[in-house]
Amino acid sequence: MATLEFTKMHGCGNDYIYIVAMRARPADPSALSVKLSDRHFGVGADGLIMLAPSSSGDIRMEMYNADGSRGDMCGNGIRCLARLAFERGLVRRNPMVVETDAGLKTVELRLEGRRVVSATVDMGEPILEGRDIPVKADGRIIDYPLEVAGRRESITAVSMGNPHCVLFVADDGVFKLQDRDFAALGREFEHHPFFPRRVNTEFIVATSRRNLKMRVWERGSGETWACGTGACAVLVAAVLTNHSERTATVELRGGNLEIEWRADGADANHVFMTGNAVEVFSGAVELGADEMVPVKK
């Protein structure tokens, strides 16, 4: 048998199981994510994130959704990973550079002593060209008419290293939907043929030009209490559709994120996200001896 230690953390309620995989790693992290993410028979989480060695950054984030699918990037997840890496002494630098499947991301930690209280992530430039998001259309997808479940919806598509479909709704009816009904709606978008790699979908009420209320359905995980890349995509979509200024608070079920899409300066066109990174608890699970393998040098 092998003992695998883990830490459960969340950013605005978007919770993941974190594993330090610097010397040994799960042989099948996809299957392990499904097993541990189960909220009845496992630890319970939106997925699994591993802290792994990096050849191009200070550390690498390897992410798996609750259904076992590989995730490219997670804004809430990367803040928690950076806190864990810093407080465990795996990375001493602040800001630190995290390698992800969506490229290198810089995370700056706000400290009180040696304790991390929040983090700001340079999420990079939004991707707006349709085929690169990807969607099955050319050009920018802004207020684009899309037939979904027999209705015509107006969507704006943005990638922040993963694809997002943003809908601005006139009232808060979508926030009152029962979980079962919201899940049915979310799946219609996630598996729509317009999105060849599936899609994360955000439903937004712009309560003011500096406040956006959001409910999100994430591909591979279902409804989550927060989505960092989604909040960034929402701010970009809100600016493009004239719903918001370039800095706004995005209000999620699990808390608020501060998002800025910079217009000028050295970081022009980059999106910055600031939010919490909370450790919930640590534990260990028993795995079979063949379920862990050494990390290749």
Cα dist from 163 to 71, 141, 202, whole Å: 11, 12, 11
Residue 294: both structure tokens together: 């050494």
Q: Is 74 part of the annotated catalytic residue set? A: yes
CA dist., res. 185 & res. 149, Å (int): 8
What digits encode the pLDDT tens for the residues 248-292?
999 999 999 999 999 999 999 999 999 999 999 999 999 998 999
Q: What is the reported pLDDT for 115?
A: 87
Check for a shared fold between 2-124+278-294 and 130-269: yes
- Residues 24 and 294 sit within 8 Å (Cβ to Cβ): yes
CA dist., res. 82 & res. 95, Å (int): 9
Q: What is the reported pLDDT for 57?
A: 98
Chain centroid to CA 198: 15
- Residues 51 and 23 sit within 8 Å (Cβ to Cβ): no
- The answer, yes or no, to whether residue 24 has pLDDT greater than 80, is yes
Q: Is 12 part of the annotated catalytic residue set? A: no
- The answer, yes or no, to whether residue 237 has pLDDT greater than 90, is yes
What digits encode the pLDDT tens for the residues 74-131?
999 999 999 999 999 999 999 999 999 999 999 999 999 888 999 999 999 999 999 9
By DSSP bridging, strand 211-218 and strand 200-208 are antiparallel
Q: What is the reported pLDDT for 114?
A: 81
Global confidence as pTM: 0.94
CB atoms near residue 274 (< 10 Å): 16
Q: What is the reported pLDDT for 30?
A: 98
Q: What is the DSSP letter of 40?
A: T
- Report the top-level CATH class of 2-124+278-294: alpha beta
- The answer, yes or no, to whether residue 234 has pLDDT greater than 90, is yes
**Annotated catalytic residue within 12, 80, 227, 232:** 227
- Residues 284 and 6 sit within 8 Å (Cβ to Cβ): yes
Domain-wise residue ranges, the chain: 2-124+278-294, 130-269
Q: What are phi and psi of 140, to 5 degrees?
A: -75, 140
**Annotated catalytic residue within 12, 74, 80, 165:** 74
What digits encode the pLDDT tens for the residues 160-214?
999 999 999 999 999 999 999 999 999 999 999 999 999 999 999 999 999 999 9
Residue 79: both structure tokens together: 């803040």
Q: What are phi and psi of 71, to 5 degrees?
A: -100, 140
Is the domain spanning 130-269 CATH 3.40.50.1110? The answer is no
Chain centroid to CA 104: 15
- The answer, yes or no, to whether residue 1 has pLDDT greater than 90, is no
CA dist., res. 167 & res. 164, Å (int): 10
CA dist., res. 134 & res. 105, Å (int): 21
Alpha helices in the chain (DSSP H): 29-37, 75-87, 179-190, 228-240
Q: What DSSP line would sit under 192-243, residue for residue?
A: -TT-TT--EEEEEEEEETTEEEEEEEETTTEEES--HHHHHHHHHHHHHTTS
Q: Which residues pair with 140 in a beta bridge?
A: 129
- Residues 104 and 95 sit within 8 Å (Cβ to Cβ): no
CB atoms near residue 138 (< 10 Å): 9
Q: What is the reported pLDDT for 110?
A: 96
- The answer, yes or no, to whether residue 73 has pLDDT greater than 80, is yes
